[in-house]
């Protein structure tokens, strides 16, 4: 079993103390100096785009943000990075530890595994092809990928792939279970086999009639990636580069083919309890092939901010097709019929947070939990990444607190000392 490098600390010595000691040691070697929270937002349903309003946009609360970041590292995350941009104020800061062996701090330009934020890029690629007539959003999977779905499977449209109303069963590979991950992190998966494996596990039957409900997952976006390759005759990563990354100037964003995380980055760890204490297993390296076009990309906070800005302005996807990304289908979520309406559009999620409407996307991979979001008028844009210590769980409380501090008034008085110990960017 390959687990990668690890660091072991005593069970009675919390991560914060251990990493603080490492940071001090690293600083000496280098010879250089180195509250309350609102509830996490929940997706809101909508059947049509909503105009953003700055009337309820709170002033940028640097004190609240710094108080969250000053609490990193902690028992759930080892590092954090936050970037807030827009006409309503700017803030960039990091905290915590990028490397437990050296105590190196989290860099502002860190690259990280963006997980399901990759879906926003995939949706943009498909919609650009649709704008040129190379893909018909009302065309079917059966048309573009003959034989992928079993005979008799109901027609599934490309639009339904993008807005999670396709009804294709997902694969049940436990890819966020630590034991499975340690054993299979370097395995290379074929996306077609991942999709067909999910179909076999469900007896080849749809979860629900396509278009009748919404169920979030990776399968629709794996199939969308296969559609892109089928209509272009080229590897998806090449199409992504040509259609989105290069035109938008995203020089530090990619869909890597190998397990390495290149460039400056914070390493990801999994905290494993043993008889001798807590062992922090380095899980930074992992094949992106299992989640591929649904969750395999790498980016930076600056690139994601640039991307969402260009996207919302209609500079990535032409505005006629961009409407798909701001339109949530008027259906119920599968399993919550009559209780919870759909909240996902093509590549985005609509959130109502403290009176604001925010469109964005979250994403995670082992060691990394991230989010990007903005008001539709771009007056406030948020990108964050935290380095989780426990894969497969709920959204870390630290991430929830970052979102709340960025978008919900805290009511706290400014505190000039709150940012002490937080690596706040200047200028």
Half-sphere exposure of 406 (CA within 13 A, CB side): 31
Identify the sign of the CA torsion 324, 131, 116, 373: negative
When mean pLDDT is compared across 2-11, 91-100, 221-230, the lowest value belongs to 2-11
9, β-bridge pairs: 278
Whole-number pLDDT of residue 16: 53
Q: Is the pLDDT score of 312 beyond 50?
A: yes
pLDDT band of residue 54 (cuts 50, 70, 90) is low
Separation of alpha carbons 100 and 105, rounded Å: 9
The encoded tokens of residue 126 equal 């498909």
- Give the closest residue to 363 by CA, choosing from 118, 162, 4, 108: 118
When mean pLDDT is compared across 16-30, 138-152, 200-214, 331-345, the lowest value belongs to 16-30
Residues 6+ apart with CB under 8 A from 143: none
Separation of alpha carbons 241 and 335, rounded Å: 37
**Could you give the C-alpha distances from 268 to 98, 107, 262, 389, in angstroms and in order?**
8, 14, 13, 8
Percent of residues, the chain, with pLDDT higher than 90: 83
271, β-bridge pairs: 280
Pairing of strands 332-333, 213-214: parallel
- Give the closest residue to 18 by CA, choosing from 64, 57, 71, 73: 73
- Identify the DSSP state of 255: -
Separation of alpha carbons 282 and 271, rounded Å: 9
pLDDT band of residue 29 (cuts 50, 70, 90) is very low
Q: What is the DSSP string of 343-379?
A: -B-SS-EEEEETTEEEEEEEEEETTEEEEEEEETT-S
pLDDT per residue as tens digits for the range 344-378: 999 999 998 878 899 999 999 999 999 999 999 99
- Rounded (10°) CA dihedral 116, 121, 123, 124: 160
pLDDT band of residue 56 (cuts 50, 70, 90) is confident
Compute the C-alpha angle 237/170/157, nearest 5°: 70
Pairing of strands 91-99, 423-424: antiparallel
Percent of residues, the chain, with pLDDT higher than 70: 87
Rg of the chain's alpha carbons, rounded to an integer?
21
H or E element in which residue 425 lies: none
pLDDT per residue as tens digits for the range 151-172: 999 999 999 999 999 999 999 9
Separation of alpha carbons 249 and 316, rounded Å: 11
The encoded tokens of residue 304 equal 């994601």
Separation of alpha carbons 12 and 371, rounded Å: 32
Whole-number pLDDT of residue 325: 98
The encoded tokens of residue 253 equal 């964003």
**Could you give the C-alpha distances from 200 to 180, 188, 217, 409, in angstroms and in order?**
20, 20, 17, 49
Mean pLDDT score, 280-284:
98
Whole-number pLDDT of residue 409: 86
The encoded tokens of residue 422 equal 């937080």
pLDDT band of residue 291 (cuts 50, 70, 90) is very high
Whole-number pLDDT of residue 427: 64
Whole-number pLDDT of residue 40: 41
pLDDT band of residue 9 (cuts 50, 70, 90) is very low
- Identify the DSSP state of 90: -
pLDDT band of residue 39 (cuts 50, 70, 90) is very low
Whole-number pLDDT of residue 55: 54
- Rounded to 5 degrees, φ, ψ at 358 are -125, 135
- Give the start-end residues of each E strand in 168-240: 213-214
Q: Is the pLDDT score of 309 beyond 80?
A: yes
Pairing of strands 77-85, 213-214: unpaired
Q: Is the pLDDT score of 5 beyond 60?
A: no
The encoded tokens of residue 387 equal 């380095």
- Identify the DSSP state of 44: -
Tell me the pLDDT of the chain averaged across its residues: 89
Separation of alpha carbons 359 and 345, rounded Å: 10
The encoded tokens of residue 142 equal 């059966």
């Amino acid at each position: 079993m390959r687990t990668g490098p690890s660091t072991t600390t005593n069970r009675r010595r919390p991560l914060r103390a251990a990493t603080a000691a490492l940071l001090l040691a690293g600083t000496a070697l280098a010879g250089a100096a180195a509250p309350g929270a609102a509830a996490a937002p929940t997706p809101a349903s909508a059947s049509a785009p909503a105009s953003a309003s700055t009337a309820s946009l709170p002033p940028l609360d640097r004190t609240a943000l710094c108080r969250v970041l000053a609490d990193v590292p902690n028992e759930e995350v080892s590092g954090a990075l936050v970037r807030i941009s827009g006409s309503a104020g700017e803030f960039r800061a990091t905290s915590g530890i990028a490397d437990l062996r050296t105590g190196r701090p989290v860099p502002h330009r860190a690259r990280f595994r963006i997980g399901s934020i990759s879906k926003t890029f995939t949706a943009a690629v498909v919609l650009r092809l649709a704008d040129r007539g190379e893909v018909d959003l009302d065309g079917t999977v059966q048309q573009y990928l003959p034989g992928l779905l079993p005979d008799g499977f109901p027609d599934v449209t490309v639009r339904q792939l993008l807005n999670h109303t396709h009804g294709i069963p997902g694969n049940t590979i436990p890819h966020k279970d630590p034991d499975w991950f340690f054993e299979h992190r370097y395995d290379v998966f074929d996306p077609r086999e991942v999709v067909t494996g999910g179909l076999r596990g469900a007896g080849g039957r749809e979860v629900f009639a396509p278009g009748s409900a919404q169920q979030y997952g990776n399968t629709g976006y794996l199939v969308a990636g296969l559609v892109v390759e089928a209509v272009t005759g080229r590897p998806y990563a090449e199409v992504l580069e040509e259609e989105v990354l290069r035109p938008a100037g995203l020089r530090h964003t990619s869909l890597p083919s190998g397990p390495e995380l290149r460039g400056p980055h914070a390493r990801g760890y999994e905290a494993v309890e043993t008889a001798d204490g807590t062992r922090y297993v380095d899980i930074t390296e992992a094949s992106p092939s299992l989640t591929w076009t649904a969750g395999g990309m790498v980016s930076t906070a600056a690139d994601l901010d640039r991307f969402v800005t260009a996207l919302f302005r209609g500079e990535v996807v032409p505005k006629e097709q961009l409407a798909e990304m701001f339109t949530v289908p008027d259906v119920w979520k599968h399993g919550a019929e009559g209780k919870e309406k759909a909240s996902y559009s093509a590549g985005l999620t609509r959130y109502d947070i403290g009176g604001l409407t925010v469109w964005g996307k979250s994403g995670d991979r082992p060691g990394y939990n991230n989010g990007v979001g903005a008001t539709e008028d771009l007056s406030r844009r948020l990108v964050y990444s935290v380095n989780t210590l426990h894969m497969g769980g709920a959204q870390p409380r630290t991430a929830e607190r970052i979102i709340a501090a960025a978008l919900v008034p805290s009511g706290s008085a400014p505190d000039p000392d709150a940012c002490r110990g937080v690596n706040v960017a200047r200028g």
